[in-house]
Amino acid sequence: MRQHSRTLMALLLTTALGTACSRPGASPAPGAPPAAESVRVTDVDLGRSLGADKRITDKTDSFKPNETVYVSVTTEGSASSATLKARWTYEGDQLVQESSQTIAPTGTSVTEFHVAKPDGWPKGSYKVEVFLNGNPVEAESFKVG
């Protein structure tokens, strides 16, 4: 009887320790969601020209009608797929252009969007809104004059 109790205790202890030790390295259950991917926009800049690193080299919020307008979006984090969108508007409500890029960022990434109008931009106030995965994250206003 005493021998039987010792065997039972040892079995229970082994099972408990085994369960506790296996948790940290355990594989996710089949069908479990993958580890969360996290990307966030950390900086948005406007300007007239870009460097090879896609960052703005000539920041401004005031453009001439014949200039190309660049917006540079810096993101941090990693994801197998993330969509950035730039939505350009004129005088508050008129849509100028909308474009998006789907990227697989790792660490710090810089994505640029640009718009040009061959016959020149009408003078006035403009805005570019930046969206990450459909959610608005930042907006920058600029003028053409």
Partner 1 sequence: MGIFNRNEDKNQGKPDFSNVQSGGSSTAAPPVTTDPVAGSAGGTYIVVKGDSLSKIAKREYGDANKWRMIYEANRDLIKDPDLIYPGQSLRIPQA
Residue appearing with tokens 């993330």: 82
d(CA 17, CA 126): 64
Q: Which amino acid is at 127?
A: K
63 makes contact with partner 1 (CB under 8 A) = no
105 makes contact with partner 1 (CB under 8 A) = yes
103 makes contact with partner 1 (CB under 8 A) = yes
56 makes contact with partner 1 (CB under 8 A) = no
- What's the token pair of residue 91? 């005088």
117 makes contact with partner 1 (CB under 8 A) = yes
77 makes contact with partner 1 (CB under 8 A) = no
Query: With respect to partner 1, which residue has the nearer C-beta, 20 or 36?
Result: 36
Q: Using CB atoms within 10 A of its CB, is residue 115 exposed (0-12), middle (13-18) or buried (19+)?
A: middle
- What's the token pair of residue 128? 């570019």
Residue appearing with tokens 């960052």: 55
Q: Please report which helix (H) or strand (E) contains residue 73, including its range.
A: strand 69-78
Give me the least distance between CB of 12 and partner 1, in Å please. 48
29 makes contact with partner 1 (CB under 8 A) = no
Q: Which stretch in 5-13, 20-28, 29-37, 52-60 sits in contact with partner 1 by CB under 8 A?
A: 52-60
Which of helix, strand or coil describes residue 26? Answer: coil
Interface contacts to partner 1, rule CB under 8 A = 50-54, 68, 75, 80-81, 84, 86, 88, 90, 94-97, 99, 101-106, 109-119, 122
